[in-house]
A = this chain, B = another copy of it.
């Protein structure tokens, strides 16, 4: 075999491609970013891109999946560094507040993808639902540990804060949600 294509290089290119695609898709929307724009920004030849991901849809799903892994890992690391169960739940909303305040914050990537492709791409829809369910389950476990039967309420407050912050590009929603959760968990202590 003549020209080499190491497996290590493949992994590197794959990650670089996902980095580029995630940044562009999140900033401008998925449908608004063509594959040629991804090629230009990533520096990878179109041919290689299509060998890494057979279709744009595959690329989109891979972007969402990796982002889900990282997003939830970051949240979990932050939240579980807190010991007290009640404070843990409140820490979720501190983490959300920091996320909303990041430069370039443009709402929830999964909600945005759902609005764009939820009705035309089954794999994307499945990925969105999978992410939302995982977030719900993770959050529910933390809330249950406090003993208060308010898991669904806390989850809806979190989702409401995420979508509201996204639409108005305003981190205030995280503060409001946090205050409501404090009330639900009981004011004392």
Interfacial residues, chain A to chain B (CB-CB below 8 A): 27-29, 31-32, 106-107, 110-120, 128-129, 132-133, 150, 152-153, 155-164, 166-168, 173, 176-177, 179-180, 183-184
B31, B107, B113, B157: the one contacting A118 at CB < 8 Å is B107
Between A and B, 26 residue pairs with Cβ closer than 8 Å are A27-B119, A28-B119, A28-B120, A29-B116, A29-B119, A29-B120, A31-B116, A107-B118, A111-B115, A111-B167, A112-B114, A112-B115, A114-B115, A116-B116, A129-B168, A133-B168, A152-B176, A153-B179, A155-B176, A156-B157, A156-B176, A156-B180, A159-B159, A159-B160, A160-B160, A160-B161
Decide if B156 touches A120 in the complex (CB within 8 Å): no
Q: How many copies of this chain does one complex carry?
A: 2
Instruction: Classify the interface of chain A: helix, strand, loop or mixed.
Output: helix
Nearest B residue (CB) for A155: B160
Given contacts A132-B167, A152-B176, A153-B183, 8 further A-B contacts (CB under 8 A): A28-B120, A31-B116, A32-B119, A111-B163, A114-B115, A115-B116, A129-B167, A156-B160
Nearest B residue (CB) for A132: B167
Decide if A152 touches B180 in the complex (CB within 8 Å): yes
Contact A179 B166, CB 8 Å, known A27-B119, A120-B32: no
Decide if A167 touches B107 in the complex (CB within 8 Å): no
- With the chains together, A161 CA to B119 CA distance in Å? 19
Q: Which residues of B contact A179 (CB under 8 A)?
A: 152-153
- With the chains together, A128 CA to B115 CA distance in Å? 13
Q: Which residues of B contact A116 (CB under 8 A)?
A: 29, 31, 115-116
- With the chains together, A1 CA to B40 CA distance in Å? 56
Decide if A156 touches B168 in the complex (CB within 8 Å): no
Decide if B120 touches A114 in the complex (CB within 8 Å): no
